[in-house]
Amino acid sequence: MLLIERPGAASAAEFHHREVPTGDDVLVWWFDPSTPALVLGSTQSEELLDRDLCRARGVDVVKRHSGGGLVLVSARHTLWVDVILPSSHPAWRVDVGRASEWMGEVWLDTLTRSSSGIDGDSFTLHRGAYESTTWSKLVCFAGRGPGEIFDDRGRKVVGISQRRTRSWARFQCALSLLWEPSMFVDLVVDGPRPSDVAEAGHTVDASFDSERVRESFTASLEAALRSA
């Protein structure tokens, strides 16, 4: 069964540390962060950030359990959803990269279905090995991971990270609503200039409809689960 939940607004830390229940249901959690947060990958140190400046700006610092570079999450900058797929489901992929590509196919179908401020015909799904750039070890949206979605200028539209146990895979997905590197680069110690990562992320246009995207995502996910 597919269970969809949209909890009330809360901190990014509360969302990231939410426990995954046991069972055979596929879970979809739409998150609305109450305050902006810089989310570090599991191997990144908080020493990468100027904590005093983060506090002064009202930006939380959070560490997630999945890998990759840092991501700025806020209601203004990202549309954030987690999908939990139990290992008992036929859609389960043993290979981590293939699993992310499966999740990316759901997103590609979602964006093609929804005419909500993004031209789905211009999107591509990255397949195969991770491709790094100068700043990708630090900034998630500067690299190209399997399953992630890019526009026709090579800017990342949907970033995907993945945490796995023997029982489930948790796909953490962020659709870039507003790519604004000036909001976070000066919070990073010895980080990039805004111009270094100016083209890393996508910005949606004024006609973007987040509710339509949520509805399209549900339809695309249901179709992918049925065909697994």
DSSP conformation letters of 3-45: EEE-PPSB-HHHHHTPPPPPSS-EEEEEE-BSS-EEEEPTT--
At residue 62, the 3 state secondary structure works out as: strand
Alpha-carbon distance of 9 to 33, in angstroms, equals: 6
Residue type, 21: P
Q: pTM of this prediction?
A: 0.95
Share of the chain residues as helix, strand and coil, in percent rounded to the nearest 5: 30, 25, 45
CA distance 78 to 202: 10
Domains and CATH numbers, the chain: 2-227 (3.30.930.10)
Residues in the chain: 228
Helix (H, G, I), strand (E, B) or coil at 111: helix
Q: Which helix (H) or strand (E) holds 78?
A: strand 78-86
- The rounded distance, in Å, linking the Cα atoms of 93 and 102 is 8
CA distance 107 to 160: 10
Integer Cα distance of 202 and 224 in angstroms = 25
Written as tens digits, the pLDDT of the chain (228 aa) is 999 999 989 999 999 889 999 999 999 999 999 999 999 999 999 999 999 999 999 999 999 988 889 999 999 999 999 999 999 999 999 999 999 999 999 999 999 877 656 755 589 999 999 999 999 999 999 999 999 999 999 999 999 999 999 999 999 999 999 999 999 999 999 999 999 999 999 999 888 999 999 999 999 999 999 999
